[in-house]
Amino acid sequence: MKEQKKQPELRFRGFTDDWEQVEFQSKIKLIGGATPFKDNPEYWNGNIVWLSSQEIKNKYVSNGTYTITKKAIIDNKTRMVDAGTPLIVTRSGILAKRFPLSIPTIDVAINQDIKALLFDQSKLNVNFFVAELQSKEAYILKKIIKTGTTVQSVNLPDLNKLIISVVSDFKEQEKIGDFFQKLDHTIALQQRKLELLKKMKRGYLQQMFPSTGQPTPQLRFSKFKGDWKQNKLSGIAKITMGQSPKSENYTDNPNDWILVQGNADIKNGEVYPRVWTTQVTKIAQKGDLLLSVRAPVGDVAKTKYTVVIGRGVASVKGTDFIYYLLEKIKYSGYWERISSGSTFESINSNDVKEARFYVPKEITEQKKIGNFFQKLDQTITLQQSKVEKLKILKQSYLQKLFP
């Protein structure tokens, strides 16, 4: 095809050359891998990292779940890929939501669901090209991913015809590539801080609430002593099991009642309105806790709205202490043990109301624990917001620095 000339909206000072708009296949060669025969022990547990699509999550990848031997490379179509060669996932359920792309920091072997992108790296900067592909992610997901099945796949002929933007001045490519490399590093750093905060919270939940069968926690505020008292959940909070309205009463009108059916309507411990209803069955008031009673069981949220609750959730009128108690027992696997053996993971009214847990006798201690975790959650929310703002900033730059 004939090359088209364009320029980006935003540019580093000193660069004025036109950009070329060319087909992907004119610059890139796609190379795939394979899975060695799994029953042959001579192929596995060697010193070569072998990647499957599950490992292609972050911009850089340096290890994998499995390793293979040189014999596996020789006997199979499994392919070695040099460090620094971009990899894309071409077959995975995750392709419905994002286009996974990674750069290995070591030599690796790849499976059949991954393609290595080979090109002359003296003419096309790796970080520049990765950013260029990321700027096209929305288009790729909409136009180049095959849908309609459980596992999505990349339509390789369409990918080869994808129009990409390239500037011939390698110094400008390096400038843009370095810029996004530093921005990606900042995002990764803030993401790690977020994960550490979440991990720290999980640790405190395990230590500041008693382990199964124990009347006192490992970690406690200094002035409180004595055993906690065992209570039924129904003894410390009012519980209302949900009841779903008839489907013909569902609407998309925000002026109707918000309907919370289950986990699809809950995110990060809050209700995110998705469906509305004109029929009122069971209600959860603003400030109530919502407990998921269907797979995945045990997720908990606090509603900022008065909502109608469907049969996938229960309403719990409780304090911040009870909210974090419910979080703790979710993480400890309590509800999974209760619901085990059923075809569809769920818990019933009796399971919820008769659940027994140790609770501090003093309300002051309950409030102290609730306040502690509330402040920790506020810190986590602020960090989450920082990560999201950086990701939005990156998307903005991807649109402005590429035509």
- Find the Cα–Cα–Cα–Cα dihedral 354, 360, 363, 369, rounded to 10°: -100
Q: What angle do CA 73, 75, 76 make, to 5 degrees?
A: 70
Q: What is the full DSSP assignment across 220-247? A: --TT--SPPEEEEHHHHSEEEE--PPPG
Phi–psi pair at 45, nearest 5 degrees: 65, 40
Q: Mean pLDDT check: name the lowest of 147-156, 247-256, 341-350, 394-403.
A: 341-350
pLDDT at 336: 86
Q: What angle do CA 144, 147, 151 make, to 5 degrees?
A: 110
Q: pLDDT category, 1, cuts 50, 70, 90?
A: very low
Specify whether the CB–CB gap between 282 and 241 falls below 8 A. Answer: yes
Question: 177-180 — which CB contacts under 8 Å span 24+ positions?
Answer: 177/125, 177/126, 177/127, 177/128, 177/129, 177/130, 177/131, 178/127, 179/12, 179/397, 179/401, 180/127, 180/128, 180/130, 180/131, 180/134, 180/394, 180/397, 180/398
* pLDDT above 50 for 2: no
Alpha carbon 269 to chain centroid distance? 15
pLDDT at 341: 59
| Euclidean distance between CA atoms 331 and 370, whole angstroms | 17
All domains in the chain, ordered by first residue: 4-169 (3.90.220.20), 229-358 (3.90.220.20)
Q: What percent of the chain has pLDDT over 70?
A: 98
pLDDT at 306: 96
Tens of pLDDT along 72-109? 999 988 889 999 999 999 999 889 889 999 999 999 99
Q: pLDDT category, 188, cuts 50, 70, 90?
A: very high
Residue 119, both tokens: 């090109």
pLDDT at 187: 97
User: Three-class SS of residue 124?
Assistant: coil
| Euclidean distance between CA atoms 348 and 343, whole angstroms | 14
Q: pLDDT category, 65, cuts 50, 70, 90?
A: very high
pLDDT at 378: 96
Q: Exposed e or buried b for every residue in 285-317, given b needs 16+ CB within 10 A?
A: eeebbbbbbbbebbbbbbbeeebbbbbbbbbbe
Residue type present at position 332: S
pLDDT at 5: 63
249 burial via Cβ count (<10 Å: 0-12, 13-18, 19+)? middle
Alpha carbon 13 to chain centroid distance? 37
Tens of pLDDT along 139-149? 999 999 988 77
Strand 307-309 to 257-260 pairing = parallel
Query: Is the previous residue joined to 296 through a cis bond, with omega within 30 degrees of 0?
Result: yes
CA proximity to 140, closest of 24, 20, 3, 19: 24
The average pLDDT across 184-201 equals: 97
Element (H, E) at 20: strand 19-23
Place of tokens 């002359």: 120
pLDDT at 337: 87
Alpha carbon 112 to chain centroid distance? 24
Q: Mean pLDDT check: name the lowest of 51-55, 196-200, 210-214.
A: 210-214
pLDDT at 212: 85
Q: What angle do CA 123, 156, 150 make, to 5 degrees?
A: 135
Specify whether the CB–CB gap between 22 and 3 falls below 8 A. Answer: yes
Q: What is the value of pTM for the model shown?
A: 0.87
17 DSSP assignment: P
Tens of pLDDT along 286-317? 999 999 998 889 999 999 999 999 999 999 99
**Which residues does residue 266 pair with via DSSP β-bridges, in sequence order?**
271
Looking at per-residue pLDDT, the higher value among 337 and 237 belongs to: 237
Tens of pLDDT along 311-320? 999 999 999 9
Tally the residues of the chain.
403
| Euclidean distance between CA atoms 277 and 254, whole angstroms | 9
